[in-house]
């Protein structure tokens, strides 16, 4: 039987299981105080954070902040033991649908220049390089700024549905 990923709104009670992932995947992890402050902004509609669980195991999380017209991905993280299984794809799908629901026209993010897997994932969703933040990470590594400008278009809906269809086929294929 293939494990099922459940996605739900991140709550403060999730933070004790979020923090170990945060601390292992990021050289400069957010503190629990930063997460708490971010979650406080959810109630004002300024942020949206989710967690992904399989059975009772929290395997990943993601978030976005909203501006009047756009959304910005603040983080997407997957427990290293669960990477390369489509979890980041599912989390990003949820963020994109939420941004569309909020009538956002575009989404942006920063990604490490060296993180080719993440850059490929974002490109699949229609994000394209739009600039560089020199030495953004730890004062050493550049960040690639990526934008998806057509979030509100019918073409982007088609792209998201195609990704969902691919995921369903992949899950169905591994279950056989």
Q: At 150, phi and psi to the nearest 5?
A: -105, 30
Q: Are the beta carbons of 141 and 166 closer than 8 angstroms?
A: no
C-alpha R_g of the chain? 16
Task: Choose, from 22, 38, 90, 110, the residue flagged as catalytic.
Answer: 110
Residues linked to residue 137 through DSSP beta bridges, in sequence order: 141
- What's the gap between Cα 59 and its chain centre? 13
Residues linked to residue 112 through DSSP beta bridges, in sequence order: 143
* Alpha-carbon gap, residue 48 to 65, rounded angstroms: 6
Give the SS3 label for residue 82: helix
Q: Any idea which residue has 């933040």 for tokens?
A: 133
Give the SS3 label for residue 64: strand
Task: Choose, from 48, 49, 122, 137, the residue flagged as catalytic.
Answer: 122
Alpha-carbon distance values, 98 to 9, 17, 87, 102, 163 (Å): 12, 23, 17, 6, 16
Specify whether 122 is catalytic. yes
Specify whether 26 is catalytic. no
Known catalytic residues are 110, 122
């Amino acid at each position: 039987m293939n494990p099922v990923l459940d996605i739900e709104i991140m709550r403060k009670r999730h933070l004790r299981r979020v923090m170990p992932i945060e601390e292992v995947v990021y050289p400069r992890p957010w503190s629990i105080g930063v997460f708490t402050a971010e979650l406080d902004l959810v109630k004002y509609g300024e942020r949206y954070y989710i967690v992904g669980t399989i059975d009772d195991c929290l395997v990943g999380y993601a978030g976005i902040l909203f501006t009047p017209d756009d959304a910005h991905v603040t983080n997407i993280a997957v427990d290293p033991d669960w990477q390369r299984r489509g979890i980041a794809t599912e989390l990003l799908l949820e963020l994109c649908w939420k941004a569309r629901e909020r009538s956002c026209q575009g989404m942006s993010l920063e990604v490490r220049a060296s993180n080719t897997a993440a850059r490929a994932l974002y490109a699949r969703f229609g994000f394209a390089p739009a600039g560089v933040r020199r030495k953004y990470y730890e004062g050493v590594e550049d960040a690639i700024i990526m934008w998806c400008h057509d979030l509100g278009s019918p073409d982007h809906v088609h792209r998201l549905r195609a990704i969902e269809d691919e995921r369903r086929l992949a899950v169905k294929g591994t279950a056989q």
